[in-house]
Structure 1
Amino acid sequence: MLYPGGDRAAAVRRTGNRARPSFGPWDSPVNQNILVIKLGAFGDIVLAFDAFHAIRTHHRRDRIVLLTRPAYATWAKTMPWFDEVWAEPRLSWCRVLQWLRWGSTLRNAGFTRVYDLQGNDRTALYFHLLGRRKPEWSGPVRGCSHPRPDFRGQRLPAYERLLRQLEAAGVPRAGPADLSWLDGDLSAFSLPQRYVILVPGCSAHRPEKRWPASSFAALANRLQADGVACVAVGTRSDQATLAELMALAPHVLNLADRTNFGQLAALARRALAVVGNDTGPVHLMAAVGAPTVVLYSAASDPFVVRPNGPSVAWLQRPRLRDLEVDEVWALLVQTWREAPDSGPHVCPAS
């Protein structure tokens, strides 16, 4: 785990971040020591990009530390908004001594303001571990200096809630985040010229959020008949779903467990469109501009958890197995036609 130490320049050298100079001169004094908490999951971190950008713009001369889960710490070091990244320690609820040591680490870091963008019971405990002399704190925990607005009864997108939380703490919006840093090398893949990305997987413990693999295969076969190839992405836990898809549509290029976050973004920028379940990679690919169709069951509210991108559409059914391929095809064609900067040969025949 990365703990604080050294000056700001040393922290920047550790992150290897080259995009930050546009936010302010390097010789500016560091006025505040800022902690941003966003632990996960993957899609939730993507939905926080505009909030990260707003914080960096507002605190352009301050030192900003991100606290996140170990799975995302290496990736977070490439983001242009943070001077240092801490990987959250794995703390067991029953190990009191571990929690006391972690509280001491937080207090000794000398943070002057904390933006709790996670807002759960775990981060509320971090607030109480800071003792009596607490820094300014933006979040939902009772007793903090800048309480998060009460969103009960409001169907606001998750990214909009974060921006309104920051506004309540005096941080203005800074517009869409520049995601040009989010890229990857695709030279190892033999990509077709025209392709749609399929994301048939989802969290292993949420099978109700998956459109059947057989339906993804039927869509892939229809796209192939129209002259459009398909590329499937996912994680190692999605291999069973991908195996079923590939058995029914063997022409699909299977890149599951072969791409990192930057490569997912690069694939999306070159794709004609993305079709997928409510899962993190879909959020990332929509964020970098790919025309995106998301498929929801009753387990999700698309008004709240929808991706933040310029061309996003969705379909929802109480049970995703009842969603017909023809319905997805029709929305995909519509999304293609309405996507910004779509060329004359992008849209398949309807």
Structure 2
Amino acid sequence: MGKVNFILMIKYCLCKLYFKYQCFFNALVDLSFLLLKKQTQNTADLLLIKVDAIGDFVLWQDSLRAYREKYFEKKVVLICNNLVREIAILDPFFSEVWGIDRKHFLFSRKYRYFFVKQLRSITFREVISATFSREYYYSDRLVKLALGLYKIGYNGDFENITKDQKNKSDIYFQKLVNNSLYRSELFINAHFVRQICDPGFQPQLPTLPYCSFDTTFLRERYCVFSISASYSARAWSIDNYAEIIDTIPLEYEIVLLGYGKDDCNRGDLLLHSVRTSDRITNLINKTTIVEMVGIISKASLVVGNDSSAVHIAAATRVPSICIAPGAHYNRFVPYPKEVSECFYHPRVVVCQMFCFGCGYHCCFPIVNQLQCIKNVTTSMVLKELNKLLDEIKK
């Protein structure tokens, strides 16, 4: 055990050194641009920066109602995570959409150089970074590098940023919006736009641009299962998912969606764990994000972890069941009851614990799964699933 811990410690130290090495050279790339004279003649009205994960981006779609009204027929550029660029370009509100590969932006100096060069080719009247949990190396860095006359952001929390980093990057902004009232992401986003766009703005269930996709190769009735999560420890077990699938009426086809090596491995395990795999269509790693949205939008229901699929389901008005951890409980799920169309809110299944709200600083030893996820039983999910199936039939 001592030898294993020593090897892990060495690996951790090497990763930390490599990260600092990359950050040093990234700072040099950035400085080379910051020292240059601003000679650009190209201008735009607004740069929107929203580079976090898919689920965050989907929830943020509701805020666009306010931006569309204020910046109607203005030139608006969006920088988003490359994962959601295909969705964003379907929205005619954006004059241009720049997708950023977060990994390459941090670890490829060539990629970073050309991305920053593109960013500084336009002078923006306003720059808005709309993320509450700011990231020093991504959203805040983009704010600093952008040529903007007036820069607005969220004062935010310390979920993804240290106090020292935040103190450094606060000076990049001319205005920071404070929030001490709201915990739900939908209300956090609504509060932000009330301060900068529309004082009367009230949150609604988000909507996504229409993503056309031919699903005639699937049955008329099908259930989507999203069995993985960006953080593997918050994914419910394969055996539990298999037990749930085996109880779903045979009239429903089962469709698996997801991306990445881990998702593929979990999908293969699931196919070997269910009693019959004949009605399962495995589309893991076989769809684009637009196709994924199109498939979910025509599903009868969605079952998954606290990940993008359940938020896409809500945004396309498909009922869903979400097996959620307690780390950010009440922030991303469940949705606030004050938000309309409650039938399409994800039905959240959790095992309440004293440590809810830990922000993934778990007080229990993590062995493959978070304790709060491990405590969610199949009977708890089946109870919610059967109730939902009855409502769908009615």
TM-score normalised to structure 1 length: 0.76
Matches within 5 A, 1:327-338: 327-337=380-390
Q: Which has the higher helix share?
A: 2
Q: Name stretches of at least 5 consecutive residues in structure 2 with no aligned partner.
A: 1-39, 156-168, 336-340, 352-370
Deviations 1:171-224 (A, max 9, x none): 35375555352332224x3x2232222111112xx2211111111111111114
Q: Name stretches of at least 5 consecutive residues in structure 1 with no aligned partner.
A: 8-29, 345-350
Sort the Cα spacing of 1:127 and 1:253 in 2 relative to 1 into closer, same or farther, 3 A.
closer
Q: CA deviation at 1:307?
A: 6.9
Of residues 195, 220, 224, the one that matches 1:193 is 220
Residue 138, structure 1, aligned to residue 153, structure 2:
yes
Structure 1 equivalent of residue 96 of structure 2: 84
8 Å contact 2:76–2:95 — kept in the other structure? yes
Residue 156, structure 1, aligned to residue 175, structure 2:
no
Distance 2:114 2:255 in 1: 46
Residue 62, structure 1, aligned to residue 89, structure 2:
no
Residue 71, structure 1, aligned to residue 46, structure 2:
no
8 Å contact 1:67–1:88 — kept in the other structure? yes
Residue 266, structure 1, aligned to residue 287, structure 2:
no
TM-score normalised to structure 2 length: 0.68
Give, as a single letter, the amino acid of the residue that structure 1 aligns with 2:236.
W
Structure 2 equivalent of residue 182 of structure 1: 211
Sort the Cα spacing of 1:93 and 1:248 in 2 relative to 1 into closer, same or farther, 3 A.
closer
Structure 2 equivalent of residue 23 of structure 1: none
Structure 1 equivalent of residue 159 of structure 2: none
- How much identity, in percent, do the aligned residues show? 19
Give, as a single letter, the amino acid of the residue that structure 1 aligns with 2:287.
T
**Which secondary structure state, in structure 2, belongs to the residue aligned with residue 305 of structure 1?**
coil
Of residues 133, 138, 141, the one that matches 1:125 is 141
Of residues 109, 113, 116, the one that matches 2:129 is 116
Q: CA deviation at 1:291?
A: 0.8
Q: CA deviation at 1:116?
A: 0.2
Residue 233, structure 1, aligned to residue 257, structure 2:
yes
Distance 2:107 2:298 in 1: 45
Distance 2:322 2:150 in 1: 40
Q: CA deviation at 1:101?
A: 7.6
Q: CA deviation at 1:91?
A: 3.5
Q: CA deviation at 1:288?
A: 0.7
8 Å contact 2:86–2:289 — kept in the other structure? no
Give, as a single letter, the amino acid of the residue that structure 2 aligns with 1:235.
Y
Matches within 5 A, 1:1-350: 33-88=45-100, 90-92=104-106, 106-118=119-131, 119-121=134-136, 122-130=138-146, 134-140=149-155, 142-143=170-171, 144-151=173-180, 154=181, 156-172=183-199, 173=201, 178-179=207-208, 181-187=210-216, 189=217, 191-203=218-230, 206-224=231-249, 227-237=251-261, 238-249=263-274, 250-251=277-278, 252-298=280-326, 300-306=327-333, 310-317=344-351, 318-337=371-390, 342-344=392-394
Give, as a single letter, the amino acid of the residue that structure 1 aligns with 2:92.
P
8 Å contact 1:209–1:277 — kept in the other structure? yes
Distance 1:326 1:98 in 2: 49
Give, as a single letter, the amino acid of the residue that structure 2 aligns with 1:312.
P
Q: CA deviation at 1:53?
A: 2.8
Sort the Cα spacing of 1:83 and 1:207 in 2 relative to 1 into closer, same or farther, 3 A.
same
Distance 2:302 2:117 in 1: 45
Distance 1:320 1:92 in 2: 32
Give, as a single letter, the amino acid of the residue that structure 2 aligns with 1:221.
D
Q: CA deviation at 1:86?
A: 1.6
8 Å contact 1:295–1:315 — kept in the other structure? yes
8 Å contact 1:66–1:86 — kept in the other structure? yes
Distance 1:130 1:84 in 2: 15
Sort the Cα spacing of 1:167 and 1:219 in 2 relative to 1 into closer, same or farther, 3 A.
same
Sort the Cα spacing of 1:101 and 1:217 in 2 relative to 1 into closer, same or farther, 3 A.
closer
Deviations 1:29-76 (A, max 9, x none): x9x610100112111111111112321122112111001233333332
**Which secondary structure state, in structure 1, belongs to the residue aligned with residue 258 of structure 2?**
coil
Sort the Cα spacing of 1:87 and 1:195 in 2 relative to 1 into closer, same or farther, 3 A.
closer
